[in-house]
Structure 1
Amino acid sequence: MTISSEGSDPHLPRELERAIFELAALRRPRSIPVLMLVAWRVKEWLDPVLFRSLDIGPDSKSPRITTAVLSCTFTQFEMLARNHAAVGRSLRNAMLWLLTNEQQRALFALAPNIENIYIYPPVRRAVSAAQAPLELVKLTRLSTSISHLENQLC
């Protein structure tokens, strides 16, 4: 710790302060909005972390509040991502609930850096050959059910 020249108030080095806030944000994502109120520098540090993991659901249902991550509707995410490109670029982990195929494709176009996706319910309609494949080059994990394929595998 260093002592300021104006008084005896000790303060942490910025690198350590940032590491502490980022660790707290990653451990408890729902606390990020409150942590961002501490100071402008903390808001700047935590902006990318805020939208790192999201639970995104349909517009017809209110956002789920039982999850450990922040929740929003598809329209809320779409509006944020279109107005602030950093929101879409920050999304790494997405839990998609009851979104249509069109909404999923729009979300993937707005958030090209997604690494992990959970989709419920699974996509039950085959993708037509005319549709271009999605370019999620950073995707490492996709979780969904393949039970709808059981009759086609026999």
Structure 2
Amino acid sequence: MSLAMNREELEDYMSQIFPQVSQDYSVQDLTEESIVMRLAVGDRHLRPGGTVSGPSMFGLADVSVYALILARRGQQSLAVTTGCSMDFMRKPDGNADLIARCTLLKLGKTLAVGDVLIFSEGSDKPVARATMTYSLPPEGSAAAAFG
């Protein structure tokens, strides 16, 4: 399967539908099989103790799977998260951006499942791992065409 959107088209579309967070996330690499996303860590992402908060890591995992679904299927902004399993394994470096490496384990007609490993930039040891499940609007439906 080929990509429905390239990196630039994906970032432009995400900026349109999520302008409130578009400055936080960027696409570092995109292939048919995977996406690498960056969270530009700032003070608002930190919790006491100088570590990146769990909700910030969840957001990065969620956005990564969502972005890869969009890149593969096209402008379907109504795909929604229906499940998440997340393991927090190490303390992230509060002075480094977070990097997420995401692959889709399944991309069906109505369901997508993605796996995400999150790293502090400069480290090869993951700080978190997530499996995200998304419900997808049927292709050709009014919901699928929303955007």
What TM-score results when the alignment is normalised by the length of structure 2?
0.26
The higher-RCO structure (CA 8 Å, 6+ apart) is: 2
Structure with max Cα Rg: 1
Hey, which of these two has a bigger chunk of strand by percent?
2
Hey, which of these two has a bigger chunk of helix by percent?
1
What TM-score results when the alignment is normalised by the length of structure 1?
0.25
